[in-house]
Amino acid sequence: MNTEVTIELVEKYLDLTARAKGKATPIHGEGTLEAEQLSDMMRMCDDYSSDARHFMEKGDLVRAFGAINYAHAWLDAAVRIGLLDGHGDDQLFTLPANSN
């Protein structure tokens, strides 16, 4: 069991989150309430990703690991509630129950 937060672990999750963000696509068109909600969620994802990089550069790997997991959670939540399409990828996202 891995009990240590390393730079490699944080980088792995930064990459995972970047791949997830690149794969997911908006479901609702611009100008809708859902698009506004998604914009807020993506801003939170970006902010936490930026925080993770900042903490990693400062050597605070525990906070970096926490921040990148929060970033990914925003993406995951957007897929789960139907604001983003995760394209059936159950490795990058927790998919909605009706996506099978």
How far apart are alpha carbons 56 and 83 in whole angstroms? 30
Whole-number Å distance between alpha carbons of 39 and 12: 25
- Count of C-beta atoms within a 10 Å radius of residue 66: 17
For the whole model, what pTM was predicted?
0.90
Tokens 């929060």 -> residue? 70
Tens of pLDDT, residues 16-74: 999 999 999 999 999 999 999 999 999 999 999 999 999 999 999 999 999 999 999 99
Which CATH class for the 7-99 domain? mainly alpha
